Amino acid sequence: MDGKAAIKGDNGVNDSDKLPVFYIPHGGGPWNVMKDGLGDPVGYGLLRNYLTALGKGYIGKIKSILILSAHWEEAVPTIHFGSNPSMYYDYYGFPSETYRLQYPAPGNPALAVNIERLLKIAGFTTKRETERGYDHGTFVPLMVAFPEAQIPVVQLSLVQGLDPGIHIEIGKALESLRSEGVLIIGSGMSYHNMRGFMSDNPTVEMASKQFDDWLADTVSIHDSEIRNATLIDWRQAPGARYCHPRSEHLVPLFVIAGAAGKDAGHRDFSEILMRVSVSGFRFG
């Protein structure tokens, strides 16, 4: 073979064929798609630029999207099997037009079957779901990144209890999808304390930066076993419990770290949003 031989990973697939995996910030409610950014037009403009660039980088290169949103938890990993998912406006108090937003991307029941198979092989009990629509952790960032809404999307739930180790194992079970044209996205927020947003409190700003920097250092650890063990112990990080009084917005990162396999991560978005440090991470 001409040139360098591709390096094969543990599953025998050429690593050069693998798509990266992403943990992205989805912002608050529908703010990403509101013209004024609800008080932070600069921060939301930067986030939109990041999501737009992400989409442009993969349009035409992927077959489907698998997304895990911070806004869906079930007793067991639950997979959306619908062919044409509806919209689930799971936010409150926003202008009326935000309840008419549409993201008509098709589902992908065939991919859903494959996800179910992989999770069961890994020992998980799973559930199927067909009625729940795309929640705002799914449709809002995808409206920015892939506005044509032509790429099929499958949404997978988090598991109640939000155990980091369980979610890393879910990610590991799904790693092979990266070599099948599936872009895996975890949608959350690296900072999520509603009392801290827009507070102008220097203590809040410091806590968000300390935790954000800890996340960046941790995902960049090249030994995946050490990285994942450190993520499991995230509560010991500086500012951790203040930045995440409840961890549902952080947990999608654990799935992404699992799906990353041995690929190290790096911070590929880092800005001040709503006056706190917020980041996105890419592995591979």
Sequence-distant (≥ 6) Cβ neighbours of residue 105 within 8 angstroms: 65, 85, 134, 142, 146, 149, 150, 151, 152, 153
- In this prediction, residues 41-58 reach a mean pLDDT of 94
Asked whether residue 31 is domain-assigned, the answer is: yes
- In this prediction, residues 133-140 reach a mean pLDDT of 97
Segment 168-222, tens digit of pLDDT: 999 999 999 999 999 999 999 999 997 878 787 888 889 999 999 999 999 999 9
Of 158, 159, 154, 142, residue with least CA distance to 180:
154
pLDDT at 198 (0 to 100): 73
Alpha helices for 101-250 (secondary structure H): 109-121, 136-145, 164-174, 202-219, 224-232, 240-243
pLDDT at 271 (0 to 100): 94
pLDDT at 266 over 90: yes
Asked whether residue 225 is domain-assigned, the answer is: yes
pLDDT at 36 (0 to 100): 65
pLDDT at 5 (0 to 100): 35
pLDDT at 210 (0 to 100): 97
pLDDT at 114 over 80: yes
Asked whether residue 79 is domain-assigned, the answer is: yes
pLDDT at 54 over 70: yes
pLDDT at 143 (0 to 100): 97
177: which 2 tokens?
Answer: 């999808």
Q: How many domains does the chain have?
A: 1
pLDDT at 1 over 90: no
Say if CB 24 and CB 252 are below 8 A apart: no
Report strand pairing: 21-25 vs 127-129. Answer: unpaired
5: which 2 tokens?
Answer: 């031989």
pLDDT at 38 (0 to 100): 60
Asked whether residue 9 is domain-assigned, the answer is: no
Asked whether residue 8 is domain-assigned, the answer is: no
CA 242 to chain centroid? 21
Average pLDDT of the residues of the chain: 92
**What one-character DSSP code corresponds to residue 19?**
P
pLDDT at 41 (0 to 100): 87
Write out the residue range of the structural domain in which residue 33 sits. 18-283
Residue 41 or 235, more confident: 235
Asked whether residue 178 is domain-assigned, the answer is: yes
- In this prediction, residues 225-237 reach a mean pLDDT of 98
Residue 214 belongs to domain with CATH number:
3.40.830.10
pLDDT at 235 over 60: yes
- In this prediction, residues 110-130 reach a mean pLDDT of 98
